[in-house]
């Protein structure tokens, strides 16, 4: 993990079709669930650079359908298209899960800020060789207002060799995606 943010060719994947099946599976598997009788079996919509995705499943008793929904965005390296970072937002409760590369100082956590201020530090919960490191944070009302009124989410991390790393995610479409997520919950 020796690349600086400028070498990452910071760019967001603008289409829900570009969200990797692994990201969708990790995010939806870790998301909360709610029961719905007439919601779609699956859903994928794009709002700006954010994707809204839902998967429905029948509970083992067969009488209730549960639906897990999320809003997500991936940042990919321009040359190789390797995932640099993924952001997955779920509601009920509001949780922002970041899937980062391996090779970070876990004690440092992940710091988030926007042009309107800082958000709480996200703590890493685990690292998986096939996915990366997972950090969660639960934005409060002020944090959600900050995200919804901003244009860019800046993510700061520290590599194991002490190098500061920065990734910027566009918040274009985030408000509309969150509104849609809330209507699906």
Q: In the structure encoding, which two tokens stand for residue 44, read together?
A: 């994928």
Q: Provide the pLDDT for residue 57.
A: 75
Q: Coil, helix or strand for 147?
A: helix
Integer Cα distance of 109 and 123 in angstroms: 5
Are residues 91 and 100 in contact, defined by beta-carbon separation less than 8 angstroms?
no
Integer Cα distance of 185 and 171 in angstroms: 21
Angle at 48 between CA 42 and CA 53, to 5 degrees: 15
Q: In the structure encoding, which two tokens stand for residue 51, read together?
A: 């994707």
Among candidate residues 26, 23, 1, the one with its CA nearest the CA of residue 13: 23
Are residues 108 and 102 in contact, defined by beta-carbon separation less than 8 angstroms?
no
> Beta-carbon neighbour count of residue 138 at 10 Å?
12
Integer Cα distance of 58 and 11 in angstroms: 37
Bond preceding residue 93 cis, omega within 30 of 0: yes
Q: Is the Cα torsion angle 88, 13, 24, 79 positive or negative in sign?
A: negative
Integer Cα distance of 45 and 107 in angstroms: 36
**pTM, 2 dp:** 0.74
Positions of the chain with pLDDT lower than 50, given as ranges: 1-40
Burial call 25-50: b when 16+ CB within 10 Å, e when fewer: ebbbebbebeebeebeeebebbbbbb
List the domains of the chain with CATH numbers. 16-184 (2.60.40.1880)
Question: What confidence tens digit (pLDDT) does each residue in 9-27 have?
Answer: 333 333 333 444 444 444 4
Integer Cα distance of 98 and 108 in angstroms: 14
End-to-end CA distance of the chain: 37
């Amino acid at each position: 993990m020796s690349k600086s943010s400028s070498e990452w060719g910071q760019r967001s994947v603008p289409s829900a079709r570009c969200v990797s099946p692994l990201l969708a599976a990790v995010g939806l598997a870790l998301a909360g669930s709610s029961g719905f009788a007439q919601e779609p079996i699956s859903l994928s919509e794009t709002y700006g650079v954010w994707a809204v995705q839902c998967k429905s499943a029948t509970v083992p008793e067969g009488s209730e359908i549960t639906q897990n929904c999320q809003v997500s965005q991936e940042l990919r390296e321009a040359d190789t298209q390797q995932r640099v970072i993924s952001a997955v937002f779920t509601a009920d409760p509001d949780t922002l899960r970041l899937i980062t590369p391996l090779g970070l100082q876990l004690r440092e956590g992940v710091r988030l800020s926007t042009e309107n201020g800082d958000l709480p530090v996200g703590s890493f919960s685990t690292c998986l060789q096939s996915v990366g490191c997972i950090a969660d944070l639960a934005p409060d009302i002020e944090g959600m207002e900050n995200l919804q009124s901003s244009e860019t989410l800046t993510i700061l991390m520290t590599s194991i060799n002490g190098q500061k790393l920065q990734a910027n995610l566009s918040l274009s479409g985030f408000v509309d995606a969150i509104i849609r997520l809330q209507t699906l919950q």
